[in-house]
Chain A
Amino acid sequence: MLPTLRDQPAAPRHQGLLAASAGHRRTGMSTWARAALDRSEKLLTLCAPIDTDIASRAGSALTALTPEELHTAARPAELLQRARPDRDHGLGILVWADAVISATSRDTHEEIETTLARLCRDHRVSVLCVYDRGGERRRKRDGAGSEHLDLAVGRHLDGLQEQRLALHRTGDSLYVDGEIDMSNLDVFATALRALTDTPSPTVHIDMGGVTFLAAAGVRTLIRDTAPYRDRGADVEIYATPHITRILQLIDIHRLPRLHLICRGVSTNTI
């Protein structure tokens, strides 16, 4: 029996949210900000408007940052010194990525993401970066979303939450939870490309938390791991019996270097 990939969930530190609408964005930000305050963290915002009740609850524990303060050129120690009156409690930083990019540039925002990743790694800092998925009408038409999806996926390995899909990465393992359909195929595809952009000889895709997989999602799974498999590397997929049944019908386990494992049992020999 193979060890399950879900034994060691990653601590949620540097997370992303793909907001389906303005309402989803507002709710996501408020929920996260309240949780940060519940943890007695000092709340920092970057281009992220928050509800007045949260602002009044935070009081002096709330600071609005400027992009410059999170630029890679800025010294993290200074920011932490200034922002943390009480060293025992951590910092919570809430970022609306699209507003940051509008106010500065995509390059600047990428640098800010780098700074945030470093802060999360080295200090008691948790971060939520919110990326917009674009208007309802646009997504309905082409199923596409955020034009900065690569950043949202590539920079938030600790957890990326979409309306119906949650992803997180640990090394060469990708954990997928929720539903995969036309509304988030692009997110899944981007995550697969990011996962397989590695010199490692094997990657793992844990779909144990996937409750629905559309046919187009299976195609994505095949297509977006193909360049990696073509280089001679292996992809291991862990799935529930229901998802395994779908994948087996499509003969995915007969594709080269694609291994399907259902509840610890390899189906390649079935």
Chain B
Amino acid sequence: MAIGAPTDRPGYLHEAVLYDSDEEFLGVVVPFLQEGVAAGEPCLVALGASTTRLVRAAVRDTTGLTFLDDRYDRPASVIRSNRDLFAAHVADGASRIRVASEVPHPGVGAPWDGWARYEAAVNHAYAEFPLWGLCAYDTRITPGSVLDDVARTHPHLATADGRGVNPRYQDPTEFLARRPPSRGDPVETASPPVVDLIDPTPATARGAVHAASTARPDTFRSDPTAPGIFQADAPQADTPQRETPKLGPTDIDSLVLGVSEAVTNALIHGRPPVRFRLWLTPDRIVATVTDRGDGPSDPFAGLLPVSTTCPGGLGLWLTHQLCSHVTLDTTDHGFTIRLVVGTPQPGRSGHAADTA
């Protein structure tokens, strides 16, 4: 395989490797890391648990490699912490930083919309760093629609046979502006919302989140007006009690902030009516805020760091930092922001291509 980067241009080299076997994965990733170690470059490994095991077994000697575990939780948080990390390496004198990473997708049980936006946005967010990022995707488990987005967000492609420029790469602004509608959470179609308010004030919306989230899910299971998810999740009489939601006060605080900011943005920047809905499930809370406006004009809204002195954008960025999953959708009917705290679901498949 080719030695060295496919281009000498400084800045961010954003490359994807699509592999269909462990051998192919190792054939690209291991030389990538070993060449970096040999050149004295910081080499970061931010892969999933099973691929990390493959790498550890293949390289044997992990000297020079930094393993970052469980790093990929929220796209905006990763951008924030990666930028800090890269800046620290540059300050330490690194002339190039190598990162081998994997982001979550429905193939591993996570929603993709946020990570699609991430893969596009990092082309800007990391542009100032001398970074070579190799993003690994296992085509055996990655849905077709995800692979399609990967092809449009990575300017470079790598295989065990060599590297090259990706002709399908799209400008991130264009990619982000033409996103297909996000997947809704399954609970949105499975049951009616427990909160449905038109034109609430931010304070009213916050109060509704607090009130709804302090209600025990058991209450809803026995509520005939709330069929669906709660009944489906209700334990059988002879089975042990299902574990209660893993939602803590921090999750509720995060959602309260996200909903308040969403309603505030809708009132200030959007067009009425503003509709706020909320669904509860045992392991997550889903909220949507819809207005008739066009949504944020900045395609990178919520993902890239914002100035604390210029107006706008900070609430949406904070929401992306704090909520588990955020989607933004503009259609002919208006703008919808969806917030999830707890464990987000991949969502309903709207694409025939999603049979991996």
Query: Which of chain A's residues has its CB closest to B321's CB?
Result: A249
Task: Give every chain B residue within 8 A of A245 (Cβ-Cβ).
Answer: 250
Q: Convert A218-260 into 0s and 1s, putting 1 for each residue whose CB lies closer than 8 angstroms to a CB of B.
A: 1100110000000000000000001001100111100100000
A216 at the interface (CB under 8 A from B): yes
Q: Is the CB of B203 within 8 A of A140?
A: no
Task: Give every chain B residue within 8 A of A251 (Cβ-Cβ).
Answer: 308
B272 CB to closest chain A CB (Å) equals 10
A181-B260, A250-B308 known; A215-B315 Cβ under 8 A: yes
A179-B203, A182-B202, A214-B261 known; A250-B314 Cβ under 8 A: yes
Tally of chain B residues near chain A (CB < 8 A): 22
Q: Is the CB of A183 within 8 A of B308?
A: no
Task: Give every chain B residue within 8 A of A182 (Cβ-Cβ).
Answer: 202, 264, 267-268
Task: Give every chain A residue within 8 A of B321 (Cβ-Cβ).
Answer: 249
Q: Convert B301-340 into 0s and 1s, putting 1 for each residue whose CB lies closer than 8 angstroms to a CB of A.
A: 0000000110100110110011000000000000000000
B260's contact among A214, A222, A250, A255, by CB below 8 Å, is which?
Answer: A214
A215's contact among B267, B309, B318, by CB below 8 Å, is which?
Answer: B318
Q: Is the CB of B308 within 8 A of A219?
A: yes
Q: Is the CB of A223 within 8 A of B206?
A: no
A181-B260, A214-B264, A215-B261 known; A249-B309 Cβ under 8 A: no
A77-128, CB < 8 A from B: none
B66 at the interface (CB under 8 A from A): no
Do most interface residues of chain A lie in helix, strand or loop, or is the interface mixed?
helix
Interface residues on A, range: 20 to 34
Q: Is the CB of A183 within 8 A of B314?
A: no
A149 CB to closest chain B CB (Å) equals 19
Bound-state CA distance A252–B315 (Å) is 15
B267's contact among A140, A249, A250, by CB below 8 Å, is which?
Answer: A140
Query: Which of chain A's residues has its CB closest to B199's CB?
Result: A140
Q: Is the CB of B309 within 8 A of A222?
A: yes
A138 at the interface (CB under 8 A from B): no
B135 at the interface (CB under 8 A from A): no
Q: Is the CB of A181 within 8 A of B257?
A: no
Q: Is the CB of A214 within 8 A of B308?
A: no
Do most interface residues of chain B lie in helix, strand or loop, or is the interface mixed?
helix
Q: Is the CB of A181 within 8 A of B267?
A: no
Task: Give every chain B residue within 8 A of A218 (Cβ-Cβ).
Answer: 308, 314
B157 at the interface (CB under 8 A from A): no
Q: Is the CB of A246 within 8 A of B257?
A: yes
B355 at the interface (CB under 8 A from A): no
A220 CB to closest chain B CB (Å) equals 11
Bound-state CA distance A252–B308 (Å) is 9
Bound-state CA distance A13–B24 (Å) is 77
B308's contact among A140, A164, A179, A222, by CB below 8 Å, is which?
Answer: A222
Task: Give every chain A residue within 8 A of B267 (Cβ-Cβ).
Answer: 140, 182
Task: Give every chain A residue within 8 A of B314 (Cβ-Cβ).
Answer: 215-216, 218-219, 250
Bound-state CA distance A255–B318 (Å) is 18
Task: Give every chain B residue within 8 A of A32 (Cβ-Cβ).
Answer: none
Q: Is the CB of A214 within 8 A of B309?
A: no
Bound-state CA distance A249–B203 (Å) is 23
Q: Is the CB of A216 within 8 A of B315?
A: yes
A140 CB to closest chain B CB (Å) equals 7
B283 at the interface (CB under 8 A from A): no
Task: Give every chain B residue within 8 A of A183 (Cβ-Cβ).
Answer: 201-203
Query: Which of chain B's residues has its CB closest to A163's CB?
Result: B203
Task: Give every chain B residue within 8 A of A216 (Cβ-Cβ).
Answer: 264, 314-315
Task: Give every chain A residue within 8 A of B286 (Cβ-Cβ).
Answer: none
Query: Which of chain A's residues has its CB closest to B80's CB?
Result: A249
B29 at the interface (CB under 8 A from A): no
Task: Give every chain A residue within 8 A of B285 (Cβ-Cβ).
Answer: none
Task: Give every chain B residue within 8 A of A181 (Cβ-Cβ).
Answer: 202-203, 260, 264
What are 8 contact pairs spanning A and B, CB under 8 A? A140-B201, A179-B206, A212-B257, A214-B202, A215-B317, A219-B308, A219-B314, A255-B308
The residues of B with any CB-CB pair to A shorter than 8 Å are: 201-203, 206, 250, 253, 256-257, 260-261, 264, 267-268, 308-309, 311, 314-315, 317-318, 321-322
The 9 closest A-B pairs by CB, nearest first: A215-B315, A215-B314, A181-B202, A182-B264, A215-B318, A222-B308, A249-B321, A242-B253, A215-B261
